[in-house]
Amino acid sequence: MSMFCYQCQETAKNTGCTIKGVCGKNEEVAKLQDLLVYAVKGISEIVVKTKTNAAELHTINHEVLTSLFITITNANFDADAIEKQIVKVLGLRDQLAKDTGYNGNQDAAVFTVDSRESMLSKASLVGVLATENEDIRSLRELIIYGIKGLAAYTEHAFNIGKEDVSIYSFIYEGMAATLDDSLTADDLVALTLKTGEYGVKGMALLDEANTSRYGNPEITSVNIGVRKNPAILISGHDLTDMEQLLEQTKGTGVDVYTHGEMLPAHYYPAFKKYDNFVGNYGNSWWMQVGEFESFHGPILFTTNCIVPPKTPEVAGRIFTTGAAGFPGCPNIPADENGKKDFSAIIEMAKKLPSPDEIETGSIVGGFAHNQVLALADKVVDAVKSGAIKKFFVMAGCDGRMKSREYYTEFAKQLPSDTIILTAGCAKYRYNKLELGDIGGIPRVLDAGQCNDSYSLAVIALKLKEVFGLDDVNELPIAYNIAWYEQKAVIVLLALLYLGVKNIHLGPTLPGFLSPNVAKVLVETFGIAGIGTVEDDIEFFMNA
Ligand code: SF4
Ligand code: SF4
């Protein structure tokens, strides 16, 4: 077996990619990512064993976030960039061992490599399958994937200048625990829930970072057509990149459009002042194949969701920044103040044709917690009068699998007295359907990016309070969530930590769950997969 990765929903045969990733990740990149994760475990081991205070580890904290982020699905395909990061992290690890007087012999904390070849051989020994017991392996990986998602969200908050040292401390604790052979399955189940607790903290931190800097998202109609100017497409999650791109394109005659998970940037008041911020182009991440061809202008990836481009023409228009990377595509670095120079992208845009129109009209979003709570009276009245029978949280991800058509059908067939609460790129499966409204409340309320699932939790907790209930599960809310990659794993763990039960997860349950671990999730939390649209709607409406 040349590689092994089963961290995402599209993993081969739902058991693991072993020759090449379905995502396009090759053996070399997969192994280097495994080694980078192992190096982070080594740093974590030193921090935990020497009881080092994470507050003293500024550079290391940040590099740990970036390293974990790099290993998320679809984030970084650039072997040279990952190798550089391994060298950097091992240098930091060794300096930390010296500074803290670490005298342990945990392999992750002391191993050495001196070439690409030695990195690849070492990686073969320390990847996912190094843990033989399949239940322990499953729980360790569940924790690691949750922490990867947490690291990604924490990095975006960091870029806005918001940090919470307790999150770093937990990342070290969690990653070090995955090396500890004395921990039982029960210990790891407890740590899984603790990962969810920090998931809530991480999403709350990012929410605070985004809203304190850019204002609270508000109801917004987003144009999905195009103008005749040259243009840049920006994808991903990072709002500081969005802000800098808008500042630098202002007055240049170059328009800016969002793609995929960047759509919710339109909901923030701070970005509405830019008259070159035109609209959203296309759909969710996997639809970039085709949509990037017709866009014609340069594309900036601020996080993951890269699909390896099919043609050199498209590849030649791709730029990355932050943790994202693709071989041959420039990665725009930040200076010591976080400033980035996007002039090369702007200059390229000026020379390229304007985008082809692929659709017209608009879509509405901006229903994050502040906006929905402003409408709380209306919502509560509609529930009390019976106009709204049930809310369906359909947050999460989109992906390539045909089976995801289930979510479009599900949305179409839901009774007209139900409301869909969404966040993440799952929304593209139904946000262009004409589903109407209930007394002026749209039937699809989009809170924003997948991290804005936090908003959906805040809304649920508020409704629990308003209705005077003891348990969030007594609310008329059903959870039918779609997942794809590791940010969705931390969202799921956060919901479990908040006590949400009976979540249906699809289109398939994670391949990394061993039968025993899946059984624990089913028995303790009522997690279930999906069935047919008709059966599931009947089940949910009568639950
Ligand atoms: S990220 Fe997903 S598709 Fe890519 S190699 Fe891993 S499991 Fe396979
Ligand atoms: S919604 Fe899912 S696929 Fe989209 S960015 Fe978030 S975790 Fe990734």
In this structure, the residue with its CA closest to atom 6 of ligand 2 is 450
* Number of neighbouring beta carbons within 10 Å of residue 413: 11
Task: Spell out the residues 6+ positions from residue 273 whose beta carbon is closer than 8 angstroms to its own.
Answer: none
Burial of 262 (0-12, 13-18, 19+ CB in 10 A): buried
Tens-place pLDDT, residues 327-342: 999 999 999 999 999 9
Ligand 1 near 511 CB (within 6 A): no
How far is ligand 2, taken at its centre, from the CA of residue 526, in Å? 23
Tell me how far apart the alpha carbons of residues 36 and 32 are, in angstroms, rounded to a whole number.
6
Position 122, amino acid:
K
Class for the domain spanning 220-351 = alpha beta
Tens-place pLDDT, residues 230-282: 999 999 999 999 999 999 999 999 999 999 999 999 999 999 999 999 999 99
Contact 222, 141 (CB under 8 A): no
Residue 340, phi then psi, degrees to nearest 5: -125, 145
Atom index in ligand 1 nearest the CA of residue 8 equals 2
Position 426, amino acid:
A
What is the DSSP pairing of strand 318-321 with strand 390-393?
Answer: unpaired
Contact 428, 284 (CB under 8 A): yes
Tell me how far apart the alpha carbons of residues 168 and 54 are, in angstroms, rounded to a whole number.
6
Tens-place pLDDT, residues 57-108: 999 999 999 999 999 999 999 999 999 999 999 999 999 999 999 999 999 9
Answer positive or negative: Cα dihedral of 463, 467, 473, 476: negative
Q: Looking at the predicted structure, is the pLDDT value of residue 1 above 60?
A: no
Out of 203, 206, 261, 305, mutate this one to test ligand 2's pocket (max ligand atoms within 8 Å of CB): namely: 261
Ligand 1 near 10 CB (within 6 A): yes
Tokens of 522: 């089913």
- pLDDT, residue 304, reads 85
Residue of 305, 294, 225 whose CA lies nearest to 261: 305
DSSP string, 329-385: S-EEPB-TTS-B--HHHHHHHHHSPPPPP---SEEEE---HHHHHHTHHHHHHHHHH
Atom index in ligand 1 nearest the CA of residue 20 equals 5
CATH number of 12-213: 1.20.1270.20
Ligand 1 near 71 CB (within 6 A): no
Position 82, amino acid:
I
Out of 153, 398, 454, 485, mutate this one to test ligand 2's pocket (max ligand atoms within 8 Å of CB): namely: 485
| Mean pLDDT estimate for the chain | 97
Instruction: Give the H or E element holding residue 300.
Output: strand 299-301
Rg (C-alpha) for the chain, rounded Å, is: 22
* Number of neighbouring beta carbons within 10 Å of residue 176: 22
Tens-place pLDDT, residues 350-397: 999 999 999 999 999 999 999 999 999 999 999 999 999 999 999 999
* Residue percentage of the chain with pLDDT more than 70: 100
Tell me how far apart the alpha carbons of residues 2 and 120 are, in angstroms, rounded to a whole number.
11
Whether omega before 507 lies within 30 degrees of 0, making that bond cis, reads yes
Q: Which ligand is nearest to the CA of 238?
A: 2
Atom index in ligand 1 nearest the CA of residue 73 equals 1
Pick the CATH number of 375-542 from 3.40.710.10, 3.40.50.2030, 3.40.50.300, 3.40.190.10: 3.40.50.2030
* Residue percentage of the chain with pLDDT more than 90: 99
Residue 40, phi then psi, degrees to nearest 5: -65, -40
How far is ligand 1, taken at its centre, from the CA of residue 13, in Å? 11
Burial of 523 (0-12, 13-18, 19+ CB in 10 A): exposed
Ligand 1 near 307 CB (within 6 A): no
Tens-place pLDDT, residues 143-160: 999 999 999 999 999 999
Contact 139, 128 (CB under 8 A): no
Tell me how far apart the alpha carbons of residues 133 and 104 are, in angstroms, rounded to a whole number.
25
Ligand 1 near 152 CB (within 6 A): no
For the segment 172-181, the average pLDDT, to the nearest whole number, is 98
In this structure, the residue with its CA closest to atom 3 of ligand 2 is 397
In this structure, the residue with its CA closest to atom 2 of ligand 1 is 8
Answer positive or negative: Cα dihedral of 256, 257, 262, 267: positive
How far is ligand 2, taken at its centre, from the CA of residue 450, in Å? 6
Fold match, 12-213 / 220-351 = no
Tell me how far apart the alpha carbons of residues 449 and 62 are, in angstroms, rounded to a whole number.
22
Tokens of 17: 């990619």
**Which strand ranges, in their side-by-side order, compose the sheet holding 318-321?**
277-280, 255-259, 231-235, 299-301, 318-321, 331-332
Atom index in ligand 2 nearest the CA of residue 395 equals 1
Q: Could you identify the residue written with the tokens 């908003």?
A: 455
Position 470, amino acid:
D
Q: For the chain, what are the domain ranges?
A: 12-213, 220-351, 375-542
What is the DSSP pairing of strand 437-438 with strand 441-442?
Answer: antiparallel
How far is ligand 2, taken at its centre, from the CA of residue 364, in Å? 19
